[in-house]
């Protein structure tokens, strides 16, 4: 089995314009987002290994916040996840796959997690 490295930002909450029903449109709703980005690791990480040998975790958070286009309404949360994946692929050619899990917090009635998980591999 080959070595792999997965960077992760979990349970990040961001308000996004999304939804298909009239009560959802025109106002942002909170989404809980978890992002996992897979990349090839270097052969060894010494204590003084520079950040350039990996990826800044804040880039993952950026892809799910500031990189989402302002004022754009995503009908489906699948489209939000797809945009996050594409942002990370454009940011860094070393990323080989991205998994985005999105939970729509506003529609939970009894604490359940309702949402999607999208995994994309670099094409």
For the segment 83-121, what is each residue's pLDDT rounded down to a tens digit? 999 999 999 999 999 999 999 998 888 888 999 999 999
Cα Rg of the chain (Å, integer): 16
Residue 58 has pLDDT above 90, yes or no: yes
Residue 27 has pLDDT above 80, yes or no: yes
pLDDT at 110: 84
Give percent of the chain above pLDDT 90. 84
Please tell me the distance from the alpha carbon of residue 3 to that of residue 26, in angstroms, as a whole number.
45
End-to-end CA distance of the chain: 22
Instruction: Sketch the domain layout of the chain as residue ranges.
Output: 5-42+54-121
Q: Which fold, 5-42+54-121?
A: GTP Cyclohydrolase I, domain 2 (3.30.1130)
Length of the chain: 123
Encoding tokens for residue 42? Answer: 């270097």
Please tell me the distance from the alpha carbon of residue 15 to that of residue 89, in angstroms, as a whole number.
23
Average pLDDT over residues 14-38: 91
pLDDT at 3: 92
Please tell me the distance from the alpha carbon of residue 120 to that of residue 123, in angstroms, as a whole number.
9
pLDDT at 8: 97
Please tell me the distance from the alpha carbon of residue 13 to that of residue 94, in angstroms, as a whole number.
26
Average pLDDT over residues 10-35: 91
Residues 6+ apart with CB under 8 A from 9: 33, 34, 35, 57, 60, 61, 64
Residue 31 has pLDDT above 90, yes or no: yes
Residue 24 has pLDDT above 80, yes or no: no
Average pLDDT over residues 56-62: 94
pLDDT at 16: 96
């Amino acid at each position: 089995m080959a070595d792999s490295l997965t960077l992760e930002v979990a349970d990040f909450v961001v308000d996004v314009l999304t939804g298909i029903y009239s009560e959802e449109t025109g106002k942002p709703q909170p989404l809980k987002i978890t992002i996992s980005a897979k990349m090839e690791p270097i052969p060894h990480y010494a204590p003084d290994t520079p950040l350039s040998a990996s990826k800044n975790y804040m880039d993952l958070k950026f892809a799910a916040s500031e990189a989402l286009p302002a004022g754009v309404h995503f009908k489906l949360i699948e489209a939000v996840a797809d945009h996050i994946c594409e942002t990370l692929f454009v940011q860094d050619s070393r990323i080989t796959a991205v998994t985005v899990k999105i939970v729509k917090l506003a529609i939970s009635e009894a604490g359940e997690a309702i949402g999607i998980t999208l995994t994309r591999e670099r094409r």
